[in-house]
Each structure stands twice: as structure tokens, then as C-alpha cells.
Structure 1
Amino acid sequence: MIIPVILAGGSGTRLWPASRKSYPKQFTELVGARSLFQDTVTRLQGASFAAPTIITGNDFRFITAEQLDDAGIEGASILLEPAGRNTAPAILAAALRHEATPDAVLLVSPSDHKIAHTEAFLEAVAAGEAAAQEGHLVTFGIKPTAPETGYGYLELTGAPELGKPQELKSFVEKPKKALAQQLLKDGRHMWNAGIFMFKVRTIIEAFEVLAPRLVMPVRAALAAGKDDLCFFRLGEQAYDRCEDISIDYAIMEAAEALQVIPVSCGWTDLGSWRSVHGASDQDAAGNTVEGDALQIDCKNTLLKSNATDTKLVGLGLENIAAIATDDAILVANLDDSERVKEVVAELKIQAAPQAEGFRRCHRPWGYYETLSLGERFQVKRIMVKPGAALSLQSHFHRAEHWVVVEGSAHVTVDTDVSLVSENQSVYIPLGAVHRLENRGKVPLNLIEVQSGAYLGEDDIIRYEDVYARAPEQQVA
């Protein structure tokens, strides 16, 4: 039985504005109707696989649980890192979590990659399992189709044979264009997919020999960890002592006789808008048009709009990516799409809210989004999922007025409890202890009008919370 270990804690910026720190690309529908995370966990289901272990960050815990539920994935174990420490500590934590079954095989996979041909990938996984059972550390090499400079490469000792374990000769860091072209020609180099297989005991022993400095703090983080709803929180102080290092540097590049499974499965890490364009359906002129977008006389262009009230139109464009969201638009030459992180860096310098966050803010109970903001007022749309409830709370600086536009709201204001239906409203005075619940079977949507001297999200006292969020986490 293979235990999938899914790494879902990244917060990449290379696909801004669709991917941001608050809601990164693994949880976003970039290619197809499901998120990359949902594609990953769904791919690793079936008779050969046990329930997955997911490793993510505290900020993404409820997004992870919700997307697992939406994908119909049951029995997953979700480990929460107090802070990102790269892949080596995360993978070691997952391995030690399964230390009681030392001969179990772990399949470690990023959650933000695209694999077009699942059957070919699973055939490679079966070959990797056999090699892992023999005590090998196994990685997967992707047959290159272009001289990519954004990937690391794996040099094999001989010509690759798809689906058959082969010895690794060396790792090659992300190359310059000329070297990438040379690596493509020689036929012995594969892209490094960052996907690994090994037995629990094999990888723990490898850490004890090659990276012993990580073993003690990760063990301590597990020992100090605690269950929190459906999550397991690693101990913060111990985990903070872990070195920030990848599994490649900590283990793989120092390991002996590492085996590679060559595979051709339509893999891409979707690390740029060019790669998204390449992985998407295109018309005869090479155009990809998604969402509320239109192309006229364009060629080799990606037009993608997630904006609800904005029509994106491309006229006479060539080799362009134009990406629209509700609060930002990116227009870039596809050849420059690797530089999008420079855009994010500049937006951070400008303190632009679009650098890291979206207008829509996801919460365990649903989401809210700001519709209008003034000096002393704010108008929000709030959606509460069926069966969900906001915390029992009060505010120092603002009063609120709720107007229900869909569904029914169960509202507590101090000692008064009422049912507020569509086209009805309720007033929450400043300082009142209140709670909003959706006890119905359909989503609850309401418009909230805030007024007061301060409208920040940290103006809250939390008294009770069904999601076990601490009072000091000052977010409704």
C-alpha cells in the first residue's frame, strides 16, 4: 500500500494575479474545473493507495479541508507547519508520523503540478514502488520536450528507458539556455519533477545519516504537536529550529545509488503563464481563451478572465498573456512570464493590497469580499456555508447592519435571538455581542454595512468559536 504525501504549503507568486499568498496556485482552477491540489489527491486514489497525508500551513488549513471534502477524499491526515521550512523538514515529519509502519512506501508529490496522462504516471509509480520496496530512494524524471531553463535536470548513466528504474549520475541545477539545449540533445537528461518514493524506514535512515541536524527538532515538533479539529499542529518552537532546506539539498544530492524512473506523462509544474498556456486547450491560431474573455485576430495568446464584471478583449495580439481578476490585470509578453515575481516585489514596495491578497477573503465558514470602502464605512458581501457559523464576537469601533439577500440567518445580538430571512435586515450596535449562523441547507448571502471610526479586521473580541481559532487570532 502506497501512502501519498502531498506538499500543499507553498505560496508562489509566479502566476500572479490569479495566484497570491493568501490563496496560492495549488488551490486555484488554472487548467480544468478542479484545482491543482484536487487533481493531485484525486490522481492518487484507488486500491493501491492509502488515505493521503497532507502537509500545509496554518493559513491554508480550512481551504485544504474544504477542497478535500469537495473532491470526495476521506480519511486524509492534515499536518500543519507553524512556518514554512522547505521540503526536507516537511517530508521528514510525514515519515516520522508513519514510523510505526516502517515498511510502508511513501509517494511524495507537490500539489501544484499538472499531469495530463494519469495512466502513464501510475505505471511509473508502480515501477517506483517496486524499487522503493528494495530499499532505494526513488525520484521521477520527466522526458524533456524543450530546452527549459526553469527546471532542474537529472543526468542518467545511460539512455533513459521509460518506466524502468535507472541509476542517477548527477543533478544539474537550472541551466542557462545554451546548456539546456545541449542537455536536451544528449538524451540522457530528464527534468526533475520533485516527486519521490521510498519506504518510511529508508528515508528516516537517510536523514539520520545525511541530515541528522533535522531529526531532533522534527521529532520534538511531533512530540509537542497536538490535534486541533481535523488537523495536527506541529510544535512551533521545535519546528522553528529546523533548517530551511529542500529534500534535494538535504538528502537526494548526497545519497548514493539513487534511482530514477523516466516517465512521459504530460507533466508541467505550471510555473509561468507560458506553461499554463502550453498546458491549456488552444484554437488553430494557438490562442487560449478562458472565462469572460474574447479574442479577435490574435495569435499564440492567453486571455484569461476571472473578473465578474469585466470583459477582457484581445485585439491583434501575439505572444501575449492577459490575465484579469476582480482587482488586478496583468498584460505580459509570454517570453517574459517568468518575471512576474518582479511585479509582485514591486507591488509589495508600493504596499498594494493586490500583492498578496484578494478582494475575496476565505474563511472556514465561507467568505467575505469588500464591495465599497470609505473613510468611515465599508460594504461587504458575506457568504456563510450551510451549517456554518461565525464566532461569537463584538467590536470596539464599528456598528454593523446586515441585509439578507439569499437564505436565512440565525442571528444572536446580546440576549436576542432571531431568524432573519430574505429581504429582512438586522442592526448590530457598537459593542454588542453577536453571532451569525446558517442553520439552513442553502448558502446564506447577506450585505453587511459597517460604520465607525475604525474598520480593520483586527477590531474584534472573540468569545466562542466552533473552529477552535484562538482569541488572539483577530480575524472574524
Structure 2
Amino acid sequence: MSCPIRPLILCGGAGTRLWPMSRESYPKQFALRVGGYSIFQQTLLRVSGPEFGRPLIITNQAYRFIAEQQLAEIDILADFVLEPARRDTAPAIVAAAAVAGQLDPDVPLLVLASDHQVRDGEAFRTAVLAGLPAAKAGWLVTFGIRPTDPATGYGYIEAGEMLANGARAVRRFVEKPDAERARHYVMDGLLWNSGNFMASARTLLEEYALHQPTSSAAVTLAAERAKASPGVVALDAAAYAEAEQLSIDYAIMERTVRAAVVPLACGWSDVGNWDLLWSVSDQDGAGNVSRGEVVLSDAQRCYVSSDGPLTSVHGVEDLIVIVNKDAILVTDRHRSGEVKQIVEGLRRTGRQEADTHCKVYRPWGWYQVTDFGDDFQVKRIVVNPKGRLSLQKHGHRAEHWVVVRGTAQVTVGDKVSLLTPNEHAHIPLGAVHRLENPGNTPVELVEVQCGDYLGEDDIVRLEDIYQRA
């Protein structure tokens, strides 16, 4: 008999409030690691017990391969539903429910954000099991967090009459309050809305059809017309685009009469900005959190992280200092929720640092730009075991590859060669070529590009096992 609960993991957000660590190319659910695991991995490990079935992950094509690599690190298998474009949480969740419901319309789906932190996993699992009878009975069971302070960054839930096993009917949802209202909500026993909930596939589909009939038809059609391969369902782009871009709260939760809530205290945080990350991290005696090569002197209540040079902080309080190889952030900890304004400004001026790390992940591995000029660029490239770049050509640049680790298989025109460390390949302008790793250990090389244009869009893919455009 199958496990009673199927985790449905939302994994499409970018988390710009945690820039520069979290960016479009590698968002916080993958980039933020606590206790050795990314928060995406922690989410999966939290629902890997015997009570849970095979996870279903909702994401896009770009994040799918990052998710697969991180799943392999923790030895968990999952299925994927791929969004062709972001349409907010309601279409994504209901599309995944339609896919899961094809196998069993009554399967309870535990809908979780992939970028939340939970410190007490046992309390979380206890709450999930407490809400299971109500979910099986047709309720949409949210998990309301018992507030630790009058936070203004969360919506709130007022619970009503008791249903079963600690689940209560929802009396009302309220939007993010100002400080005064938040204090009253906490005094009156209202709960934070975590955004995580559980319901059967059938209930989700019924409620979406009732409250959003036009979008429901579009999402259902997108699932019906989806392209399926083992473990992966790619939603139909044309049909999915017709669904209105709405959150699950606005589309269903705030409208349904079938909402229930289970109160929960589990050390939860949505890790929505640097201040929240500081608050849930282990602090030293002065209230500081440090990551990487960091020296603190006469500093209090700071969060300082460096993934590059030694970073020294002296004589300050309540600062966020984030040092990446290509970007540095310094902000007042209490104003860290405003960091998204920096990202918006960078995007307006066309700065690639807004969305792209200098270390760029690809299905086959990753690359990092280490130097560049007007007509040249140097990259460090690592190809994972069995990784294979597309068969491609360039219209504006030639390339030189020097292998420094492992054995690379290199195709240039009709010639295929195996290159070992300290061996070199020249890729002339316009030549059809491919790089792959046939072995079981990573291949690393240095690539020098020379040409009048060096952008990533100067790639004509002729053949690609990852089915990229």
C-alpha cells in the first residue's frame, strides 16, 4: 500500500531579498546551507520518513537539474512537474495536483515551500499527521505558526471551531498588518500563515474550479497536454499561459469555506531576508553570525559572510555584510528587507550581477568567469561525471581548452580526442564542437575565449541531451 501523504514541493522562487547570495540563476533554496544541507535538501529530508511517499517537485527546466544534483547528494528520488513560465503559486500547485491526481485523486498532498527553515522536524511531522484526517475529509489544512513576536511580514490566521485531532476551522485570513495590529493579533491568539498546507488532489481541483473556473480550465488542459518522460512532466506552455497569475492564498484559501488550520510551534521561518536569517542562525556571545573567512572585532548583532577574501568587521552593530566574489552587500540589519530595491536598480541598468552569479550552474556542471577584457574571456569549467555539453558552434568567438584535471572527450568537427591534464584543444571560429566527461570523476579545464562578442547567446546548439533551446 502506498504511503498516505505525498509531498508537493514548490521550487521556483528567486528570493531577491537575500541578494547577493540568492539570485535568479541560483536561488536561496539551493544556495543557503545550514548544518551542511541546503534548505531545499532540508525540506526533502523533513518529509522522507515512512509516512510520506515520493516527492513531486514543481520547478522550471533551469532549476530541475540543480534540484536533481542536490537530491542525488542526499540519496532521494523525486518526480518533477516543469512550469514553462512562472504563474505564481495557484496555477503551479493545481497543475501538480492534476498530475498527482491522475494516479490517485484522493492522495493527500503536503504542499511545502522549498525555501523555509524548520528547526524542530519532529514537531512539524506531528502537526502534519494531526491534520491528515481533516485533509482526507476534504478540508484544506493550513499550518499556522504560533507567533514568537508581533511580526509585520507575515499574514495571520484566526482559528475557529475544533474539527478533529487539533485541526480547527479557519475563521478568517488577514493580510500583513502594521505593528499595532500585529500586537493585537498576537494577544488575540492569531497564528502566522506559513503558506504550507495539505489537501487531497481532488479537493484542490474542485476548489480551484469553483473559485477560478477560467484558470482551472487552462491549468487542467496544460496538464492533459503535458509532455511526459520518466519522472518528468512538462506542462503545455500555450495552455498554461492562459491561467491567471495568482497566489494560492488569494485564488483559493481566502475564498473557500473548507479551510482548516493546525497550530504549530516548530522553529519555522520563511528566511525571507537577511535579518530573519540572522535571527534563526546560531549566534556567538555578542549576537554575531559569521560564515567563511571572517574576523569580528568589537561587533554586535551582525551577520557577516564571505565566500571569497578575508573580511574584517570592527566597531559596528546590527550590520549585514555579504561578500561574494563579484558583489558585496553592506546594509543595516533592520532594513535588510529593502535589499530587493538594489536588485531592481541593477536590473534597470542591465547589470548581470542582479540575477547571475559568477559561478553559473548548468545541467552538465558549472563554469566561472575568472578574467575578461574587451575581446577575451577566461573561464574555469567543471564537467560532472557523464556530463555532456551540447554539440554547438559560435559565430563570434574561437576557444582554447586546457584540461587541468580528469580526462575530457573533445569533439572538433569530425575529430574526437581524449585529453588529459596539460593537453590542449583549439576550437576555431564557427567549428562544430562538444565537450564531455566519459569518466566517473569531474573534469576541470580552463577555457580562453577570443572574439568580438562573448555573450552566452552566441551559442547555436545542434544537439543537446538536456533539450535546451
Q: Which TM-score band applies after superposition, normalised by the shorter structure?
A: over 0.9
Offset at residue 227 of structure 1 (A): 2.5
Offset at residue 245 of structure 1 (A): 0.5
Offset at residue 222 of structure 1 (A): 1.1
- Note the alpha carbon deviations across 1:276-304, whole angstroms, 9 max, x for none: 00111101110101111111111111111
Where do residues 26-425 of structure 1 align in structure 2 (5 Å cutoff)?
26-74=29-77, 76-100=78-102, 101-157=104-160, 164-186=166-188, 188-227=189-228, 230-307=231-308, 310-425=309-424
The letter of the residue matching 1:180 is A
Is the 1:18–1:325 Cα contact (8 Å) retained in structure 2?
A: yes
Q: What is the RMSD of the two structures over their aligned residues, measured on CA atoms?
A: 1.6
Distance 1:161 1:284 in 2: 45
- Note the alpha carbon deviations across 1:35-74, whole angstroms, 9 max, x for none: 1111111111121111011101222121122222222111
The letter of the residue matching 1:322 is V
Distance 2:353 2:363 in 1: 22
**Structure 1 SS opposite 2:6:** strand
Structure 1 gap ranges (5+): none
Q: Report the TM-score when normalising by structure 2.
A: 0.96
The letter of the residue matching 2:358 is R
Is the 2:31–2:38 Cα contact (8 Å) retained in structure 1?
A: yes
The letter of the residue matching 1:392 is L
Where do residues 428-443 of structure 1 align in structure 2 (5 Å cutoff)?
428-443=427-442
CA 275–423 in structure 1, closer or farther in 2 if over 3 Å, else same: same
The letter of the residue matching 1:210 is H
Is the 1:229–1:467 Cα contact (8 Å) retained in structure 2?
A: no
The letter of the residue matching 1:193 is S
Distance 2:332 2:35 in 1: 23
The letter of the residue matching 2:224 is A
The letter of the residue matching 2:393 is S
Distance 1:430 1:236 in 2: 35
Q: Report the TM-score when normalising by structure 1.
A: 0.95
Comparing 106-115 and 208-217, the one that deviates more: 208-217
Is the 2:163–2:169 Cα contact (8 Å) retained in structure 1?
A: no
CA 116–52 in structure 1, closer or farther in 2 if over 3 Å, else same: same
Identical aligned residues as a percent: 46
The letter of the residue matching 1:247 is I
Comparing 112-121 and 231-240, the one that deviates more: 231-240
Runs of 4+ in 1 over 2 A off after TM superposition: 29-32, 160-163, 227-231
Where do residues 10-21 of structure 1 align in structure 2 (5 Å cutoff)?
10-21=13-24
Offset at residue 229 of structure 1 (A): 6.7
**Structure 2 SS opposite 1:396:** coil
Is the 1:162–1:264 Cα contact (8 Å) retained in structure 2?
A: no
Q: Give the length in aligned residue pairs.
A: 465
- Note the alpha carbon deviations across 1:214-253, whole angstroms, 9 max, x for none: 2210111112210257522100010000000111111111
**Structure 1 SS opposite 2:171:** strand
The letter of the residue matching 2:456 is E
Distance 1:14 1:297 in 2: 27
Is the 2:152–2:179 Cα contact (8 Å) retained in structure 1?
A: yes
- Note the alpha carbon deviations across 1:353-408, whole angstroms, 9 max, x for none: 11111111111100111111111111111100011111111212211111111111
The letter of the residue matching 2:289 is T
CA 179–163 in structure 1, closer or farther in 2 if over 3 Å, else same: farther
CA 450–229 in structure 1, closer or farther in 2 if over 3 Å, else same: farther
Comparing 31-40 and 161-170, the one that deviates more: 161-170
CA 246–366 in structure 1, closer or farther in 2 if over 3 Å, else same: same
Structure 2 gap ranges (5+): none
Distance 1:288 1:275 in 2: 12
**Structure 2 SS opposite 1:90:** helix
Comparing 56-65 and 398-407, the one that deviates more: 56-65
Offset at residue 256 of structure 1 (A): 1.2
